[in-house]
Structure 1
Amino acid sequence: MRRRTVTAVLGAVLLVLLLTAVAAVVGLGGRDGAGDDGQAGPAPAATTPAPPATTPDGSPVTDLVVLGDSLAAGYQPTLPGDRTDPDGGYAGVLRDALGEAAGEPPALTNLACPGETVGTFLAGGTCDYPAGSQAAAADAALRALPDGGAGALVTVQLGANDVQRCARLDVGGPTGPSAEVDEACAAAGLDAVRQGLAEVLAGVRDAAPQARVVVLDYYNPYAVAALLGPGLAEFATRADEVHTALNELVADVARDAGAVVAPVGAAFTAGDDGEPPVGPICSLTWMCADPPDIHATDAGYRVMAEQVLAVR
């Protein structure tokens, strides 16, 4: 299956300019796991807790179905080709941890698509699926599970691509940095998530009524804008407000659908009381690497998997 590489919402050039400025403020050498060569260095080791080997009803976890966007697809800027690894990212960590606990890994089906929104998940148009959309592919995979998915763990991560396009940031202008969040765009994106994610989860529940469903929320990679000084402080705060609204919405929709929520955003800013909290973004994402990228590092994907294992 061909997957289309997602383009960072604010544009690669703007991200390079942003992270160049960040490097001047925080120093890429020796801070949050970034090395002297500008590449993200070793992050603090993440300890993945040993999960129960069974689902809540006592049956073994035999199938792991992963749905969503580029994070669910295991996107890494250092990977070849389309830079995704359906067997890597947090999906791979989950499979390996569950297999270690049970003695045999669950069968992994990763249908995630970089750049996917809730709308394209349902209607298609971003990645190529024989069935036409990720929703249709997921429906077929879930209905093929035995016993209504009684032994399955299904993860869903969608919504970020619906709102990230609403931010504009330019740190290289002739008069200095400028940034804004399009309020109308953000409101429309949140509305799309509210309606579309509910439909996505209803479809998952209909196709696999006995499966355990975990919805992941999001970290905020653009919190690093707060490090650039007062010129971008307002943008960083407003972007964090939209991010917070997205995570609250995702949690509300997930719980209404009978799913549980893996709090990725909180885990990525643990111990940071700043406004907005930055946390170890430089070690858990590629935002302070050269070239920079909004996606998670191996350490970040381990943290994401830990959140799923803790709540599932």
Structure 2
Amino acid sequence: MLRSVAVLAVEGLPPFEFGVACEVFGIDRRDTGGPAFDFRVVTAHPGRVRTSLGFDLVVDDGLERAEGVDLVVVPAHGTGDVDPAYLDFLRRAHAAGTTILSICSGAFIVAATGLLDGRRAATHWMHADELRAKYPAVTVDPDVLYVDEGSIVTSAGTSAGIDACLHLVRRELGAGPANAIARRMVTPAQRDGGQAQFIAAPITERCSDSLAGVMDWMLVHLDRELTVDELARRALMSPRTFARRFRADVGTTPGAWLNRQRLLRAQQLLEATDDTLESIAQATGFGSAAVLRHHFARVLQTTPTAYRRTFASALAS
């Protein structure tokens, strides 16, 4: 269970990536159905910490205040060397069972500890070649928003850090808490490139007006068999034009987007209802419990029953 979070304030950190961690984990969201974390900001040398934009942060807590937390977030920090105190701390924290999340070039700090050796990792695409050359034991994936290696999660640049943070909240606490945070931040709870998720009032990818209405309609009719031909007619386009426009605006095919939304809805129903798997499969357009299980195993690496057992009880506690 994710309850306590510490963010490293490393000299020279970019304010945005640092702010992402503070926004996701540092605000009490209980008034809108979200979580509240035991949150702290720590640094190797308490006092003034210079940011990449030239202004200072004042951080009172040293690294000892982060001992024993559930999650340590490592914001971006260029690609150069870092105070060895951070490396020693991260090694100890990981050995003690703490999850580590890096944002953007924060992956260089985690890689310097040796903890990424033999693992996949993400970073900003501009830094991928440098990370690969500097740490050849790390398998760098330059094409994804984030990589979840269990005890270590690494994200690509800037807004991909939001995706990784929300993914980790969803992984540990379920879709509901992650959705509550995303709604307050007015951001999609999940973009392509990571795990699927449903939000109670889905924030659709607002692309062209001609697609927005169709996508809203798709969300309301997930239980139906929806074909590209039918969707194209609703958008007043030819099937070929509709498929091309959809991929250009949304970044994936209509079928892939629809399957993701169906899985997101199934997650929400598993968390919030006692409906049978067959009923949920029908309501979400999968047709049968067997097909629902197949999609859960392929995308979420778990079963619907195990997901319900974990997250329905987590939300009730």
Higher relative contact order (CA 8 A, sep 6+): 1
Shared fold (TM-score, shorter chain, > 0.5): no
Q: TM-score, normalised by structure 1?
A: 0.26
TM-score (norm 2): 0.25
Which entry has the higher C-alpha Rg, 1 or 2? 2
